[in-house]
Amino acid sequence: MTAAALEVLKSVYGYDAFRGPQAGIVDHVIAGRNAFVLMPTGGGKSLCYQIPAIVRPGMGLVVSPLLALMADQVAALRQAGVKAAALNSDLDPDERRALWSAVETGALDLLYVAPETLMRPDVLERLRRARLSLIAIDEAHCLSQWGHDFRPSYRQLDGLVRQFPATPRMALTATADEPTRAEILAHLDIAVADSFVAGFDRPNIRYAIEEKDNPRAQLKEFLARHEGESGIVYCLSKRKTEETAAWLRGEGTDALSYHAGMDKAAREASQRRFQRGEAVVMVATIAFGMGIDKPDVRFVAHVDLPGSIEAYYQETGRAGRDGLPSDTLMLYGHEDIALRSRFIEESDAPDERKRMERQKLDALLGLAETASCRRQVLLSYFGDRCEPCGNCDTCLEPPKLFDGTVAAQKALSCIYRTGERFGQAYVVDVLLGAENDRIRQFGHDRVSTFGIGTEHDNRGWRAILRQLIALRFVDVDLAGHGGLSIAPAGRDFLRDKPTLMLRQPRAARARRHRLERG
Ligand code: ADP
Ligand code: ZN
């Protein structure tokens, strides 16, 4: 570790030691190498580019999607004596002139800029005359079409590779599954060997997912365990955030709302109260997100299904940044699934995009319906692993199971008999013996698995397939048409035929008696 980096860590941030992979990353970038940094929210990504930018000669350029976030970071850095500034459209002409003169005379350590501003030809032209120490792209998943927060302005950033080939590049993100990672590396021309992937487990966060039964009662029961604490309740719609907040206030809870339809002043006031408050419940849409820096968020509840596993991970990840035990609850119902599916079908997105979205929804439902440890399923989605955690609802209160050995055999052999290239809907149709032209056209009304699955209905089979996907018995062709194929673990299962317990398909499951907990 360079002495200069440690010195900055102490003098600017007041910390004695780097945390986790920070030291390795800082060293690597100070040495002039590119880096891809995948670290969970709260892991400490900011230092990874700020310290090299301060230590290396020249100015570090930081690309960030949110003006408010930039303003906070710049203010904090300045307070600590770092020469930081943000280039944004709020600057008046005098401020703008002063900023460019600081850039040209080399008076800045860090310059924050939004992607659409950065890629303007006049801005690039001026930056070419400056000395850059590094280019850091924060929230880099925004450039991935596969990622859940794609922003077209981020896509143009691959132009930076050509414009500044000799300047070290960093891409930083907290949410990246395998395809997102690959896309970021390819676009920014960063080598796999330059990747730093930190563990995704957040052991202090407890996960629980329940079917919607009586959502207000379920939420109330959850909040009752967290009296005197602050947390976030995520809703899908603006109207629902307001209704829910009003209802909670009526119940004597200090609840605020936050959504994109509120004016800026009201949003900021709401955020400030939450940030400072001791026992405030923020009822919000996903507009309340990036840039929340409250360490003692004790709980996060989703009263509607989140957009994807990444979104769920990121949103629940806002709890417990201080490392203390924190609690989460996600509720999901048939209507949520139908609504999400309709969003996808009715969007103007190209077919390929829609397919991707459908697969992400299925992965999320797989997490919701799994009979295994939630943390294991969650982490395996990010290519990470753990032992059954003892800190999620399925570990603490195992769900009702049925012997799914035969069902799994039927599903897997149906996938096999139809050539391991059809999607979920088609496989289910064959299992149920549906009369349709497509099946006849492929001659699949004559395979031995046609119509052998009438003991479950369509929804039941979908739930079974999702569990087989979550167990990694079945692979989904993510890059192609969502075709199902049998994964190595599925082949082992077909060969050895061990007993496989699955979670009861929803249609057949009796309404679960909720135990009092905690
Ligand atoms: P991220 O951007 O990955 O979500 P931040 O960079 O905002 O995370 O850091 C999260 C919190 O951890 C911040 O409050 C930060 O000051 C703190 N932090 C980061 N690195 C260290 C460290 N080495 N020692 C102590 N605290 C740290
Ligand atoms: Zn668990």
Distances, alpha carbon 362 to alpha carbons 205, 395, 462, in Å: 23, 22, 9
What is the CA(383)–ligand 2 centre distance, in A?
17
3-state SS string over 355-399?
A: HHHHHHHHHHHHHHHCCCCHHHHHHHHCCCCCCCCCCEHHHHCCC
Yes or no: say if 301 and 232 are a contact pair by the CB < 8 Å rule: yes
Coil, strand or helix: which one is 418? coil
The per-residue pLDDT for 134 is 97
The per-residue pLDDT for 176 is 66
CA 182/CA 177 separation, integer angstroms: 9
Closest CA to 399 of 316, 511, 517, 516: 511
What is the CA(209)–ligand 2 centre distance, in A?
12
What is the CA(6)–ligand 1 centre distance, in A?
15
Supply the residue whose CA is at minimum distance from atom 20 of ligand 1: 44
Measured from the CB, is residue 20 less than 6 Å from ligand 1?
Answer: no
Closest CA to 207 of 388, 468, 463: 388
Which among 37, 47, 297 is the best mutation to test ligand 1's pocket, defined by most ligand atoms within 8 Å of the CB? 47
Q: ipTM of this model? A: 0.96
Average pLDDT on 24-47 reads 91
Yes or no: say if 344 and 364 are a contact pair by the CB < 8 Å rule: no
What is the CA(366)–ligand 2 centre distance, in A?
15
3-state SS string over 101-140?
A: HHHHCCCCCEEEECHHHHCCHHHHHHHHCCCEEEEEECCH
**Atom of ligand 1 lying closest to residue 18 CA:** 23
- CA 397 to mean position of chain CA atoms: 26
Among 42-51, 144-153, 483-492, where is mean pLDDT lowest? 144-153
What is the phi-psi region of residue 384: left when phi exceeds 0, alpha when psi lies from -120 to 50, beta otherwise?
beta
Direct distance between the N- and C-terminal alpha carbons of the chain, in angstroms, rounded to an integer = 45
Q: What is the pTM of this model?
A: 0.66
Count, residues in the chain: 518
Tens of pLDDT, residue by residue over 164-218, are 999 999 999 987 678 888 999 999 999 999 999 888 889 999 999 998 878 999 9
What is the CA(337)–ligand 2 centre distance, in A?
24
pLDDT higher than threshold 50 for residue 321: yes
Q: Which residue has the higher pLDDT, 68 or 319?
A: 319
Which among 1, 13, 62 is the best mutation to test ligand 1's pocket, defined by most ligand atoms within 8 Å of the CB? 13
**Atom of ligand 1 lying closest to residue 46 CA:** 6
Yes or no: say if 225 and 196 are a contact pair by the CB < 8 Å rule: no
Tell me which range, 194-203, 246-255, 496-505, is most confidently predicted by mean pLDDT. Answer: 246-255
Question: Nearest-5° angle of CA 478, CA 484, CA 488?
Answer: 95
Measured from the CB, is residue 44 less than 6 Å from ligand 1?
Answer: yes
What is the CA(192)–ligand 1 centre distance, in A?
25
Q: Which two tokens stand for residue 362?
A: 């299925």
Measured from the CB, is residue 47 less than 6 Å from ligand 1?
Answer: yes
Measured from the CB, is residue 19 less than 6 Å from ligand 1?
Answer: yes
Average pLDDT on 40-59 reads 92
Yes or no: say if 407 and 466 are a contact pair by the CB < 8 Å rule: no
Which among 22, 46, 296 is the best mutation to test ligand 1's pocket, defined by most ligand atoms within 8 Å of the CB? 46
Supply the residue whose CA is at minimum distance from atom 18 of ligand 1: 44
Yes or no: say if 313 and 39 are a contact pair by the CB < 8 Å rule: no
Average pLDDT on 115-133 reads 93
Rounded CA Rg of the chain: 25
Average pLDDT on 222-246 reads 97
pLDDT higher than threshold 70 for residue 311: yes
Count of CB atoms situated within 10 Å of the CB of 400 = 12
Strands (E), 413-467: none
Alpha-carbon torsion (116, 120, 126, 129), positive or negative: positive
> Nearest ligand, CA of residue 76?
1
Q: Which two tokens stand for residue 324?
A: 């203390």
Q: Which residues make beta-bridge pairs with 231? A: 281, 299
Yes or no: say if 220 and 244 are a contact pair by the CB < 8 Å rule: no
Closest CA to 444 of 425, 429, 456, 462: 429
**Atom of ligand 1 lying closest to residue 17 CA:** 23
Measured from the CB, is residue 15 less than 6 Å from ligand 1?
Answer: yes
Which among 15, 175, 292 is the best mutation to test ligand 1's pocket, defined by most ligand atoms within 8 Å of the CB? 15
Supply the residue whose CA is at minimum distance from atom 26 of ligand 1: 15
Mean pLDDT of the chain: 90
High-pLDDT (> 90) share of the chain, %:
65
pLDDT higher than threshold 90 for residue 44: no
